[in-house]
Structure 1
Amino acid sequence: MRIKYDVHIATLKERPLELGKIVSGSILGLGGGLVILAGGWIFTIATCLVAYQATQEFYGFVTSKGISAGMEPPPPLVSALTSLMCICLSVWTYASNGRSTAALAVSSFALLSLQLLMVNKLKFSQLASSVFGLFYCGYLPSFWIKLRVLSAPAINSTALHGWPVLFGGISHWTVGLIATFMAVACTIAADTGAYAFGKTLGRTQLISISPKKTVEGAIGGLMCSTLVALAFWRFLRWPAQAGVAVGLALLIFLASLCGDLIESVMKRDAGLKDAGDLIPGHGGLLDRFDSYIFTGAIVYFILKFVTPLFGL
């Protein structure tokens, strides 16, 4: 009787956490959809906020006892400037219509030079962590802006003709808008499918970095990502070929998985369960957005350079 009572109390305690997770996840999803639809400076400001919070949590890893015991973290001033430069990278990417590579080089030079001047016994770990933070938290998120500003008109889908007034007309539905929606939707599907299949059918461990990830979960995530991509092809007529949709779904799934695993490595070395407590039920922002870190860059690269090369 005592065991049943304890289980009942534990279940009641878990319900508020689950409810908070559902509510916060729904708010994030709705807000994210509206931000993607708006585009422009609204999308850019949202990316800046993500970049800022990501750098705060990244340096939380770097300065944790687990990591700082093995390597010296950068000075607080460098951490603060990294946050500022990550924000500036997003602003520059939008203002320059997608040009951010040179800005990354200049920002890296500034961070490294500053440490040469202000740190007496400079360590390689300080240089490496500051540049990686700039790349991981600033440069990679800026690719979502590059993707969103792609201005080529989307395939003229009959599914969009019913929404001309409310959503800005058919001309508003550019490749950048639909591709961003598809990348986000496929990432959500991959994460959800991997969790659901892994929890119900998971038996075979996928990788030692994250013991809870299973082969069955990965297969489920890939299937869900593919179904979502094919739904975009079928109902919105984008991409134009089903094969391209399947290829994008596969790459998005791999990008989301790798992003998740890389953050797992950082959390493991830092000795932390979560990157933070910003989002109720989800942990820190990186715990929620780690799957998106590489996705924008990969989808942008495929659409900008690979599909035109093959006339797709």
Structure 2
Amino acid sequence: MAAAVATAAAHRLLLVPSLPRPHPTLRLRLLIPSPPPLRLRRRFPLLAAAAVSAGGGGGVNSEEAGSKREKSRQLQKRVLVGVAIGVGAGGIMVAGGWVFAAAVAATVLAAAREYFGLVRGTAGGGGTPPPRFVSRVCSAICALMPILTLYYGHMDVTVTFSAFLIAISLLLQRGNPRFAQLTSSVFGLFYCGYLPSFWIKLRSGLAAPALNTRIAYSWPILLGGQAHWTVGLVATLISISSIIAADTSAFLCGRAFGRTPLTNVSPKKTLEGALAGLTGCVLTTVLLSTVLHWPRSLLSATAYGILIFLGSLFGDLVESLIKRDAGVKDSGSLIPGHGGILDRVDSYVFTGALCYSFVKVVLPLYGV
């Protein structure tokens, strides 16, 4: 009986038709859409192209969207870090004295280390960087220059004596000394130490009271009172604010409307961006001079703004030249979204000396 039941079940299974297995080609077509037929492609080429792009272009669109999101995050990071640096620098600038000098010294030390790092990077292109101990000594001397300027006022003897010591140490080193080692070391003293120290002269050396600055009358006595607002403080405030306006205007307008290259040293800089930077710098200088009542003449304020822009642009181009020889995009990665410290302060290197000379020599009675 059991054998008969099993035989009947086997006959029923044989009578049920088996389903066909999906062909491998069909399974592949489900994953990758096939191109439109030849007749459709001939009659409607645009529709056929749209169908193909809709089927296989999702990866490209996702990559573009990811790239845009990354650029947006980098811009947000750049803005937030820039605002934080601006607020901190504003407080240090108003404080003045040893606080301002110590901040400049720390900035100079970091910038000098990045500079000699860039000089060492030129070795791959045939350059001869100075020995590491010379680079470290030069960086330390550069950091001391703002402090010495605050308490002694002059750096001529320091720079001359330092250059002499560096020349002697390079000439007496083992091996074959090169002239490029001497020039890069002495230029480092000048570029990273001597020139930034003029900001100390501008902020603390011009101690004449800014008599026409109305904000001084309401300044708290615990913070120095009216005497705290000197020509040096007002000039430093206007100078740094104008540099920030120039950099921001040049960056935004150059990125949006830049078409004409400015110079081969920095291919990304455009003539349109430079004109926007000049306009933003001069307008900021004139506006702040109207608010702070220094300098009193509109012509002097305009000339001061033009001078600030030229100094900031020249400093930016000099640093671009150094980075180009080193074959790098940024001088470092210390500041998120901005690169190195030298990338952030390159516009200030020459500007301090120009502003101090303008106020000291050109403006009668320091512009009061």
> Which of the five TM-score ranges fits, normalised by the shorter chain?
over 0.9
Instruction: Choose the corresponding residue for 2:175, options 80, 95, 120.
Output: 120
TM-score (norm 2): 0.80
- Quote the residue 1:183 is aligned against: 239
Instruction: Choose the corresponding residue for 1:215, options 248, 252, 271.
Output: 271
- Quote the residue 1:147 is aligned against: 202
Q: How does 1:30-109 map to 2 (within 5 A)?
A: 30-64=87-121, 66-96=122-152, 98-109=153-164
Sort the Cα spacing of 1:230 and 1:214 in 2 relative to 1 into closer, same or farther, 3 A: same
SS at match of 1:210: coil
User: Residue type matched to 1:27 in 2?
Assistant: A
Is 2:22 the partner of 1:22?
no
1:286-312, CA deviations, whole angstroms, 9 ceiling, x for partnerless residues? 111101110100000111122249988
**Cα offset for 1:116?**
1.8
Instruction: Choose the corresponding residue for 1:276, options 307, 325, 332.
Output: 332
User: Residue type matched to 1:6 in 2?
Assistant: E
**Cα offset for 1:204?**
1.6
Sort the Cα spacing of 1:235 and 1:310 in 2 relative to 1 into closer, same or farther, 3 A: closer
1:248-289, CA deviations, whole angstroms, 9 ceiling, x for partnerless residues? 100110110011111111111100010000000000001111
- Quote the residue 1:251 is aligned against: 307
Once structures 1 and 2 are overlaid, which stretch shifts more, 261-270 or 154-163? Answer: 154-163
SS at match of 1:63: helix
Sort the Cα spacing of 1:167 and 1:231 in 2 relative to 1 into closer, same or farther, 3 A: farther
Once structures 1 and 2 are overlaid, which stretch shifts more, 177-186 or 205-214? Answer: 205-214
Q: How does 1:226-241 map to 2 (within 5 A)?
A: 226-241=282-297
**Cα offset for 1:203?**
1.9
User: Residue type matched to 2:190 in 1?
Assistant: F
Once structures 1 and 2 are overlaid, which stretch shifts more, 159-168 or 174-183? Answer: 159-168
Sort the Cα spacing of 1:178 and 1:101 in 2 relative to 1 into closer, same or farther, 3 A: same
1:18-47, CA deviations, whole angstroms, 9 ceiling, x for partnerless residues? 232122111111111011011111111111
Instruction: Kindly indicate whether the alpha-carbon contact (under 8 Å) linking 1:207 and 1:213 is maintained by their aligned counterparts in 2.
Output: yes
- Quote the residue 1:267 is aligned against: 323
Instruction: Kindly indicate whether the alpha-carbon contact (under 8 Å) linking 1:67 and 1:269 is maintained by their aligned counterparts in 2.
Output: no
Instruction: Kindly indicate whether the alpha-carbon contact (under 8 Å) linking 1:155 and 1:240 is maintained by their aligned counterparts in 2.
Output: no
SS at match of 2:312: helix
1:102-153, CA deviations, whole angstroms, 9 ceiling, x for partnerless residues? 2111111111112222243111001101000111011111011111111011
Instruction: Kindly indicate whether the alpha-carbon contact (under 8 Å) linking 1:155 and 1:238 is maintained by their aligned counterparts in 2.
Output: no
User: Residue type matched to 1:174 in 2?
Assistant: T
CA distance in 2 between counterparts of 1:41 and 1:68 reads: 41
Instruction: Kindly indicate whether the alpha-carbon contact (under 8 Å) linking 2:231 and 2:366 is maintained by their aligned counterparts in 1.
Output: no
Once structures 1 and 2 are overlaid, which stretch shifts more, 155-164 or 178-187? Answer: 155-164
Once structures 1 and 2 are overlaid, which stretch shifts more, 66-75 or 234-243? Answer: 66-75
Query: Identity of counterpart residues, as a percentage?
Result: 44
Sort the Cα spacing of 1:167 and 1:196 in 2 relative to 1 into closer, same or farther, 3 A: farther
Number of aligned positions between the proteins = 310
Instruction: Choose the corresponding residue for 1:7, options 64, 79, 85.
Output: 64
**Cα offset for 1:155?**
3.2
CA distance in 1 between counterparts of 2:146 and 2:91 reads: 19
- Quote the residue 2:30 is aligned against: none
- Quote the residue 1:157 is aligned against: 213
Instruction: Kindly indicate whether the alpha-carbon contact (under 8 Å) linking 2:142 and 2:189 is maintained by their aligned counterparts in 1.
Output: yes
- Quote the residue 2:184 is aligned against: 129
**Cα offset for 1:3?**
2.5
- Quote the residue 2:251 is aligned against: 195
User: Residue type matched to 1:86 in 2?
Assistant: C
RMSD after superposition: 1.8
SS at match of 2:218: coil
Once structures 1 and 2 are overlaid, which stretch shifts more, 79-88 or 99-108? Answer: 99-108
CA distance in 2 between counterparts of 1:284 and 1:212 reads: 18
TM-score (norm 1): 0.94
Instruction: Kindly indicate whether the alpha-carbon contact (under 8 Å) linking 1:189 and 1:225 is maintained by their aligned counterparts in 2.
Output: yes
**Cα offset for 1:7?**
1.6
* Runs of at least 5 residues in structure 1 that lack an aligned partner in the other structure: none
CA distance in 1 between counterparts of 2:64 and 2:367 reads: 60
| Greater RCO, 1 or 2 (C-alpha within 8 Å, sep 6+) | 1
Larger gyration radius, structure 1 or structure 2? 2
